[in-house]
Amino acid sequence: MKISRIGIRNFRQHRDIDLDLSDVRGNFTVIRGLNGAGKTNLLKAITWCVTGDLGRSEPRHNPSSLVSHGAISETLVGESVTLTVELELDFGGEERAEVTRSSTFSRVEEGLIPNSANLVINRHEANRGWQKEPEPDLWLDRQLPRRFSHYFLFDGEQLEKFFKETEARYVKEAVLEIAQIDNLERMVDRLQQTAGDLTKSVASQRQGDAGMTLESTYKELEQREEKLKEDVAKKRAEKAENENAIDEAKSRLGDVAAIQSELKRLDSLEISANLAHERSADASNEFYSWTTSVAPYMMMFSAVQALENEIEDARGRKELPPAYDPDSLKELLKEGVCVCGAKIGKGSDGHSHIQKLVEDFSALSEIGDALRNAEGPLSRLRGRFFDQRDKAEILGKARTERAKEASDADAKFNNLKKKLSDHDDQEIAVIGQKFENAVEGAKSIERDLSRLERDLEDTKVARVKLQSEIEAAGAKDAKARTKLHELGFTKEVLAQSQTLFDELKNRVREDVAANLDREFQKMIWKKNAFEPVEIDEDYRVKVVNKLGFENREGLSAGETACLAFAFALTLSRVAGVRYPMVVDSPLGRLSGEVKKSVAEVLSNFLVSDNDQESAQLLMLVTDEEYDESVSSALAGQKPLLFDISFDQESGEAALKESKNG
Amino acid sequence: MARATRTILEFDKDSVPLFEKLRKVLRGEKGDLTNKEAFMIAVSWGVHFNVRADSIKKSGTGPRLEYLSESDNALLAAAHFAFAKSPEGLLDLNAIHSSAELFAEGGIRLLAEEMSKPGNFPDSFAAAVFEVIAGMGPLPVTEG
């Protein structure tokens, strides 16, 4: 079975979507988009079309909540608005079907009022052409039974719930449905009812009060048993609900733990921010203090230069000696050595030149003296401050960087503070209380359930005992013998039916378990890590590790995903129909090698190993999920890739085939 | 050269609080600036922006001459040369010191105006210093 076209009108953010998957590439389609783009609602639209509800992730919904806001705002009061989801199903050959589910609402001031709901199915068969299906609900339920559709249309984020103990009833429903033995179960129920009626009939044959008493006692026991069955069922549902509440509270408490850890992080960010500010202040102080210390020289640089020029000019005016001290020059002349170290003989040009210089400057002017006094310090200042110019850049840069670090640290601190500002200690206390109440409630539910189950068993035993008494009494009564004969026959049929049902049920359960184990072990990358997967008599899926410990609750997210895919594949195999699988965020909780491995599992899911029949997989993923490793793991299957986006302005989702597909 | 006849370089009487403020607002290596550091900064500001008071009212407060280093004296000489434009001026130490006081008064007025503006004064102060540094060009090659 393949979904070859999806058409959606006015379903939440999908105002007008038409997705053609008829091409062979449509067997593997990836729809990629950000959170909130409309992926999950695409899954819900398909689920709604097939089942009339939104699946287990949104079990109760207000029908008018399905209508897109855009469509509502465009509909005037008094007018009507219709949402429609159409699926075209391809069964191979010429066998096809168009499934159209629609709901019409009237627009009133307050909102929408449901008007009508329709399911129309047109089927195409070879030699018959297109025909309208007279029983669309029945037909659809036969094709993809509602009782296991959630194993094919599901939210990957909910996978861990698939095989929880409280979900065993869904596993049972799916297994019985897939083997089509649920009718047999109903027949056994009916036979039990008939046996009861016959027993009452036999009792009523007894004359007088004794007969009436027997009949009414039996009826009472029957009613009591029925009532207890209902109570047990209710209590089991209550237990499941309570366990869900515990899980939810646990998960919220997990969030609380995360918040508390974030609060600790906030403290450490505050310390980091303070340290960054201290470092920034130190860098600023160093910068300011350096600036202050160099300011006098730097600001008077031009004046200093002017004085230095004057000194040079004074040297030209011979008011100032050369850079060499005249006394030292005189010493050198005495030794006949030049300032460069060369020998200069007396009377040579060089010797005469230096001697003349020394004579010229021997009597310095008072001005020259003053300039000479300034020359040395100015020259030293110049050297020092020019050397320090590089420091200006270093200090300025350090100051800017430290300031940026402080500002970044502030931003980190403030962002987290803002994020955590919504958290409320009161709310945490309430969640904690709810958790404790639910745990306490679980004990009381367990006690009640045990009591009810004991009562039910006792009542059943009492009824069966009374039935024997009635039969014994009836045997003495000629009138009752006919009914007694019928009762005996019914009981025999009932016993055989029960045996047949139990045998079939067990065989199917074991068959499903064996298939599930085969698929799971094939998918799982940890070879020889688990004992064969079992489905026990209460339809609890059991995964035991090689150490002999029940490990289903301890399976990793990747292993849980494999178990779910293996179960879906098993249902397909047992049913002999490759159902299309639509999965939202199958890899969202996975990372690294595990993500890649599960992607490969999904890729293998597409390939049927026993025939050429192809399966269909429609994956709804985020960019993070569909990364390079996943893309390469699935590349061999050449997926049809679409990008889904949400336009804030129009409030509509748009689908576009990706060029990178 | 005429000998110094004074022992301190004085702030203008009215500007003493301004120097006090400058000492507190700008940071030196050891915290608040000393009188001498504040005075030298004010002189350099006056010289750089060529603002020199005509006269000052003696306050009896200011850096002591004995605290001036050889470099400080060289800078004050350069400051006076910038005003006198003649090397003869360098022969009169009193004139150099008076010139410094007048430049300091001119400079502190400019700095006071800057300090009174909104914003971070040390930053605008640093910006002015950096502007000069940027215009200094490469280190002149000294011969010999």
**A564-578 residue pLDDT tens:** 888 888 888 888 788
Query: Residue A337: pLDDT above 90?
Result: no
With CA atoms as reference, report the closest residue to A619 among A657, A581, A660: A581
Q: Which of A288, A294, A322 sits opposite B27 (nearest CB)?
A: A288
Give pLDDT, residue A420: 72
Tell me the average pLDDT of chain A.
83
More confident residue, A614 or A461: A461
Chain B hits for A310, Cβ within 8 Å: 81, 87
Sequence-ordered alpha helix ranges (H) in A555-618: 557-575, 592-605
Dist CA A124 CA A157 (whole Å): 37
CB A506 within 8 A of CB A497: no
Question: CA of A15 to nearest chain B CA: how many angstroms apart?
Answer: 55
Is this structure's pTM higher than 0.95? no
Question: CA of B113 to nearest chain A CA: how many angstroms apart?
Answer: 18
Query: Residue B39: pLDDT above 50?
Result: yes
Dist CA A81 CA A107 (whole Å): 7
> Of A59-68, A99-108, A517-526, A547-556, where does the model show the most confidence?
A99-108
Are A289 and B75 a contacting pair at CB < 8 A?
A: no
Chain B residue with CA closest to A313: the answer is B87
Query: Residue A312: pLDDT above 90?
Result: no
Query: Residue A206 carries which side chain, given as an amino acid letter?
Result: R
With CA atoms as reference, report the closest residue to B129 among A291, A381, A304: A291
Query: Residue A60: pLDDT above 90?
Result: no
Query: Residue A423: pLDDT above 80?
Result: no
A514-524 average pLDDT score: 86
**C-alpha distance from residue A124 to each of A6, A42, A579 (Å):** 17, 26, 19
More confident residue, A215 or B39: B39
Give pLDDT, residue A412: 87
For tokens 């490469």, the residue is B138
Chain A hits for B26, Cβ within 8 Å: 288, 292
Give pLDDT, residue B4: 55
Percent of chain A with pLDDT over 70: 92
Question: CA of A409 to nearest chain B CA: how many angstroms apart?
Answer: 22
A96-104 average pLDDT score: 94
For tokens 């995964």, the residue is A543
DSSP assigned state of A48: H
Give pLDDT, residue B139: 47
**How confident is residue A611, by pLDDT bands cut at 50, 70 and 90?**
very low
What the block records as the tokens of A522 is 């094939």
Cα A531 off chain centre by: 29
More confident residue, A261 or A187: A187
A640-653 average pLDDT score: 86
Give pLDDT, residue A86: 96
Query: Residue A453: pLDDT above 70?
Result: yes
**How confident is residue A163, by pLDDT bands cut at 50, 70 and 90?**
confident
Chain A hits for B133, Cβ within 8 Å: 294, 298, 389, 392
Give pLDDT, residue B143: 35
By mean pLDDT, which of A365-374, A482-491, B72-81, B87-96 is the weakest? A365-374
Are B133 and A298 a contacting pair at CB < 8 A?
A: yes
Give pLDDT, residue B88: 83
Give pLDDT, residue A633: 82
Q: Which residues of B80-98 are buried (b: 16+ CB within 10 A; e: fewer)?
A: bbbbeeebebbbbbebbbb
Dist CA A428 CA A423 (whole Å): 8
Query: Residue A538: pLDDT above 70?
Result: yes
Contacts of residue A100, defined as CB under 8 A and 6 or more positions apart, other chains included, come to A49, A84, A85, A86, A118, A119, A120, A121
Are B1 and A370 a contacting pair at CB < 8 A?
A: yes
**How confident is residue A186, by pLDDT bands cut at 50, 70 and 90?**
confident
- CB-defined contacts A:B, below 8 A: 128
A194-222 average pLDDT score: 80
Interface residue B25 vs chain A (CB under 8 A): no
Give pLDDT, residue A659: 67
Query: Residue B27: pLDDT above 50?
Result: yes
With CA atoms as reference, report the closest residue to A86 among A168, A6, A183: A6
Chain B residue with CA closest to A294: the answer is B129
pLDDT tens by residue, B66-112: 999 988 998 999 999 988 888 888 888 899 999 999 999 999 999 99
How many Cβ atoms from other residues are within 10 Å of residue A302's Cβ?
16
Give pLDDT, residue A185: 83
**How confident is residue A607, by pLDDT bands cut at 50, 70 and 90?**
low
Q: Which of B29, B41, B90 sits opposite A295 (nearest CB)?
A: B41
Query: Residue A79: pLDDT above 50?
Result: yes
How many Cβ atoms from other residues are within 10 Å of residue A127's Cβ?
5
Give pLDDT, residue A364: 63
Query: Residue A613: pLDDT above 60?
Result: no
By mean pLDDT, which of A172-186, A350-364, A457-471, A564-578 is the weakest? A350-364
CB A92 within 8 A of CB A102: no
With a CB-CB cutoff of 8 Å, which residues 580-609 of chain A face chain B?
Answer: none
DSSP codes, A433-501: HHHHHHHHHHHHHHHHHHHHHHHHHHHHHHHHHHHHHHHHHHHT-HHHHHHHHHHHHHHHHHHHHHHHH
Are B75 and A296 a contacting pair at CB < 8 A?
A: yes
With a CB-CB cutoff of 8 Å, which residues 229-268 of chain A face chain B?
Answer: none
Question: CA of B14 to nearest chain A CA: how many angstroms apart?
Answer: 22
> Of A347-356, A600-609, A648-657, B115-124, where does the model show the most confidence?
B115-124
> Of A67-71, A132-136, A157-161, A614-618, where does the model show the most confidence?
A132-136
The residue ranges of every structural domain in chain B are 13-134
